[in-house]
Amino acid sequence: MKIVKGGIALVVLFFTWCFLFWITGDRTPWQFFSHKNTEGVEVYLGDIPIQNYDRMGFTRGVVRYVAKNNSWIVGTERGELFCFDGKGKQVWKRSLGIGKLVTIALSKKEDLVYVGEQSPTGQLFAVDSNTGDMVWKYAAKALVGADPGSRSYPSVVHIAVDNEDNVYITAYRYLLNQDGSRGYNGKICSFSKDGAVNWQFPEKEVMDTWVNWCDVSNSAGEVVVATSAYETRPGMKYPKTMYFLNMKTGKLRHSLSLPVVVPFENTVMRGSPNYSSDGKYLAGSSSDGRAFFLNSGGEVLWTRELSLPQKVEGAWLNASGRDGFVVPEGVVFTTINTFNRENWQLPTPVLHPGNNSLFLFDFMGNFKYKYKADGTMEEIAFAKGIVACAIGRNVRTHDYKLAHGAILIKLSDGSLLKRFPTEGPVQAIDISQDGKHIGGIEAPAVTPEGKVIGAYRFHIWQYE
Amino acid sequence: MSVRQLWEGAEGDNVIMHLDGRSKLFVLFSIAILAITIDNPRTLFLLFSGTLLLHFAARTSIYKWQVMAVLLLLGLWGSMVSQALFFAQTPRTPIFMLISPDFPILGPLTNGLFIYQEGILYGAIQGLRASIMLSMGLLICWNSDPRQLLKALMAWHLSPQVAFMLVTALRFLPVLAAEASEVITALRLRSNSKVGRQSICRHLPYVVNPLLARCLRRAQTLALSVVSRGFFLAENRKKVVWPMKEFSSCLVLALVVLVTVGSKVAYLASEQGLYVGFLRYLYDWTKLYL
């Protein structure tokens, strides 16, 4: 009997050895248990605090495709910058500190990657895209100050690069005054490719408004800056919607105030405007759900209503406009989830019909089509004839299974070309110029039922 | 095979047995460092398989293999099952539901009980670390005369008292096991009870006193013999030469350990901001294989 028992132990040890060989290798047995879609490549980006699904400020990440060597630069909330090759193998990785990486841009030759972070110093990093070596860095704390004690961190929120590889950033810091009122410190700064400061706007003070976006037009020699302060205060020095600066000197050329719609106090733009590739036109959408098409002189050519605020059962509902892009097929705008204007966390009785959508207008302002997604349009990126959309959360329907993922839409007619579903919401996306390679960052979330869905991971998908 | 024979180094003729005590201890320490340093599951698995191969080289008896199998299985599966059920890190992917969160009473109490995919692998990594050490420890234990280890420790200029205590502790465990077995046999004969687990459990509370008495008696004898042989006298002992082949092999192993630990430290430093571009291939290698 002892011999039999010992024999069984040896046999079990042999099978355990085989099992360990199996699970420690690449061909893991998980597919036998799960029904997860395994299309494409997944790379885990590390542990991060998992946010509540309904939270306004949600987990982010940044991604850019590098065409010269078919690689991906990925920045995370952990302050880590990765370079992955086309198959998802890590080429290099570097930790940039304790901040969250919130914005990214590539130089024209794709030899440098510029990364902006939110941290107690709010650095702008210029990193060699081939090796991951730091080339230079600049602390936005010098521009907008910092007050880590009250968690008022400076942040480089957006980066634009011109044809001569000069870099333009918007830096911003949120202030909570002792009397409970809110304030903002904002500044625009231009750098040469080697990190020398070209100019700052304003030169000797900070903008008393929230600046979230900027873009540069080489042909017009101009930088446009959009503001995002929802409230205006008496005596506010920079209350206008857009400021147009000379890209060489940083001097203010002119500014523009867009008309306000009820119930908003101010017209704000948080994810636009952007110039057309020839620099002659400008497209942007505002948080009150309007779309604007302007020329580089700052003249509004036409305005369209995407998702204007509506009063339903005493509550103002709106779906904020986010993006504005000019592409050969027309002018593209997007909107996000439906929100209650009173408090963004409060429920809404109905969904706004214009929410979570992508709109295309021709250059005369004629409506071409609308594509409505199941979740918010977190980011869009363009390839030849295709737009790739990162589809994030839908905090109203809590549709976890259908909404999340990445989609490819044919720009000419708005038809869905391909959908890449993910478990968690996709928060950032980029696509190669030929439209064949798509990279997206998925974030984890805790649902109101307490279940964790998704993970912080980078996906690479192939199309055709 | 008696209990004492099972846990003591046996006389035998194999490659491991003929190795110098210093070589054995050095390999044991090196493998311990590697097992702690390496995180890659496949590399740990290969290291574990390597230690099992050493048992084949040492021609470990089938009975000892059976005992080792039971110990390894307990460690490996215990770790895998517990981590699969209670894995608390993220991401964690439930691949099988044992108790639904909606199940009456148990569901709300536990918030559901799942088997987590990542937990199995995490448990396997921890289990493999423990198994590597267990397997290597048994290999050295079964293929070394305690005198060999004592000489090795003394050659490394460890104080004779400490070295002696270490080796005595090592030898004491099999002696203790044999003594306990004898006491239980005596108790069983006295009470005329049958052989089996039940009788062992019944006699366990009465084992402590006779076992303690026997241990004290042995310790007294040991102390007298140590004093009478002048073991701790401060006289020059004959230096035993470390065979050149073994010494150079240990140097190579030391280099492997140094490179492994060094690249791991460099990789961790790079994650904390101390990134150096020309070490990129080392970072890649560390990430992929360590």
A132 to chain B, any CB pair closer than 8 A? The answer is yes
**Do A95 and B275 count as a contact with CB atoms less than 8 A apart?**
yes
A133: which chain B residues are within 8 Å (Cβ-Cβ)?
275-277
Residue B216 has pLDDT above 90, yes or no: no
A24, A97, A456 ranked by CB distance to B45: nearest:
A24
**More reliable by pLDDT, A56 or A441:** A441
**More reliable by pLDDT, B89 or B4:** B89
Residue A183 has pLDDT above 80, yes or no: yes
A91, A132, A444 ranked by CB distance to B91: nearest:
A444
A444: which chain B residues are within 8 Å (Cβ-Cβ)?
90-91
pLDDT of residue B214: 86
Nearest CA in chain A to B102: A449
**Do A16 and B73 count as a contact with CB atoms less than 8 A apart?**
yes
pLDDT of residue B3: 62
Residue B232 has pLDDT above 80, yes or no: no
pLDDT of residue A1: 60
Nearest CA in chain B to A443: B91
pLDDT of residue B121: 87
Contacts of B21 (CB under 8 A, 6+ apart): B144, B148, B149, B150, B151, B152, B153, B155
A47: which chain B residues are within 8 Å (Cβ-Cβ)?
89-90
| A134 min Cα distance to partner chain B (Å) | 9
Q: How many CB atoms lie within 10 A of CB B130?
A: 18
How many Cβ contacts (< 8 angstroms) between chains A and B?
Answer: 103
Q: What's the CATH number where A139 sits?
A: 2.130.10.10
A21: which chain B residues are within 8 Å (Cβ-Cβ)?
45
Interface-testing mutation among A11, A12, A21, A23, with chain B (most B C-beta atoms within 10 A): A23
**Do B272 and A455 count as a contact with CB atoms less than 8 A apart?**
no
Asked whether residue A318 is domain-assigned, the answer is no
B273: which chain A residues are within 8 Å (Cβ-Cβ)?
94-97
Residues paired with A186 in a beta bridge = A172, A207
Instruction: Give residue B261's region: left, alpha or beta (phi > 0; psi -120 to 50).
Output: alpha
**Do B77 and A133 count as a contact with CB atoms less than 8 A apart?**
no
Residue B237 has pLDDT above 80, yes or no: no
Asked whether residue A207 is domain-assigned, the answer is yes
Using an 8 Å CB-CB cutoff, list residues of chain B that contact chain A: 41-42, 44-45, 48-49, 52, 62-63, 65-66, 69-70, 72-73, 76-77, 89-93, 95-96, 111, 117, 120-121, 124, 128, 270-273, 275-278, 280, 283-284, 287
A20, A30, A93 ranked by CB distance to B95: nearest:
A30
Asked whether residue A185 is domain-assigned, the answer is yes
Q: How many CB atoms lie within 10 A of CB B199?
A: 15
Q: How confident is the model at residue A31 (pLDDT cuts 50, 70, 90)?
A: very low
A12, A24, A95 ranked by CB distance to B73: nearest:
A12
Q: Which residue has the tokens 């990785």?
A: A93
**More reliable by pLDDT, B281 or A126:** A126
Residue B275 has pLDDT above 90, yes or no: no
Name which of B260, B210, B206 is nearest B39 in CA terms: B260
Nearest CA in chain A to B91: A455
A455: which chain B residues are within 8 Å (Cβ-Cβ)?
90-91, 93
Look at A76-85, A276-285, B23-32, B191-200 and tell me which has the smallest mean pLDDT.
Answer: B191-200
| Cα separation of the two ends of chain A | 62
Q: How confident is the model at residue B226 (pLDDT cuts 50, 70, 90)?
A: confident
A458: which chain B residues are within 8 Å (Cβ-Cβ)?
none
Which whole number is the average pLDDT over A347-367? 90
**Do B280 and A30 count as a contact with CB atoms less than 8 A apart?**
no
- How does pLDDT run across A122-156, given as a tens digit for each residue? 999 999 999 888 999 999 999 999 887 778 889 99
**Do B272 and A90 count as a contact with CB atoms less than 8 A apart?**
no
Output the DSSP codes for B23-44.
HHHHHHHHHHHHHHH---HHHH
**Do B49 and A17 count as a contact with CB atoms less than 8 A apart?**
yes
> Where exactly are the structural domains of chain B?
1-144, 150-253
The structural domain count of chain A equals 1
Tokens coding A361? 């207008």
Is 0.80 topped by the overall pTM?
no
Residue B174 has pLDDT above 60, yes or no: yes
Element (H, E) at B125: helix B117-142
Q: Which residue has the tokens 């929230």?
A: A210
**More reliable by pLDDT, A208 or A38:** A208
A50 to chain B, any CB pair closer than 8 A? The answer is yes
**Do A128 and B277 count as a contact with CB atoms less than 8 A apart?**
yes
Contacts of A371 (CB under 8 A, 6+ apart): A357, A358, A409, A414, A416
CA dihedral A43, A48, A54, A57 (to 10 degrees): -100
Domain of A233 in residue numbering reads as 96-257
Distance, in Å, from the CA atom of B237 to the CA atom of A132, rounded to the nearest integer, reads: 57
A20: which chain B residues are within 8 Å (Cβ-Cβ)?
45, 48, 76, 124, 128
A456: which chain B residues are within 8 Å (Cβ-Cβ)?
91
**Do B280 and A94 count as a contact with CB atoms less than 8 A apart?**
no
- Three-point CA angle B189, B195, B197, nearest 5°: 120
Full 3-state SS string of B37-64: HCCCHHHHHHHHHHHHHHHHHCCCCHHH
Asked whether residue A8 is domain-assigned, the answer is no
Tokens coding A71? 């690689």
- How does pLDDT run across A395-436, given as a tens digit for each residue? 888 888 788 999 999 999 999 999 999 999 999 999 999 999
Residues paired with A339 in a beta bridge = A318
B124: which chain A residues are within 8 Å (Cβ-Cβ)?
20, 23-24
Output the DSSP codes for A158-181.
EEEE-TT--EEEEEEEEEE-TTS-
Residues paired with A406 in a beta bridge = A390, A420
